[in-house]
Amino acid sequence: MLEEDVAPDAAVFVGDRWFLLCRESGAGPVEERVNRLTDLFPELVEPLRAGEGMWERNGERYERVEPDPELAAELAAFAQALKR
């Protein structure tokens, strides 16, 4: 995402402070400061400020969506693995 200078396809808040910014063809987990992400991709400000939920990119904006329960459980497990 950062190397390609392309906004993420989705932004997901997991747990108490973990955001997963996802690209369909991602290269793996990378940590980055929120300020750098919003400088590069101003459209991320709204989902990151919301503090919860799953947001998918629709053109130049992000829309909040309800993830299916199976996906939500997988994302929570992934976030827990990252904390270790």
Q: How far apart are CA 29 and CA 50, in angstroms?
A: 22
Neighbouring residues of 20: CB distance < 8 A, sequence distance ≥ 6: 10, 11, 12, 14, 75, 78, 79
Q: List the domain boundaries for the chain.
A: 10-83
pLDDT of residue 34: 85
CB 41 within 8 A of CB 31: no
What digits encode the pLDDT tens for the residues 1-45?
Answer: 777 788 888 888 776 666 777 777 656 667 788 888 899 999 999
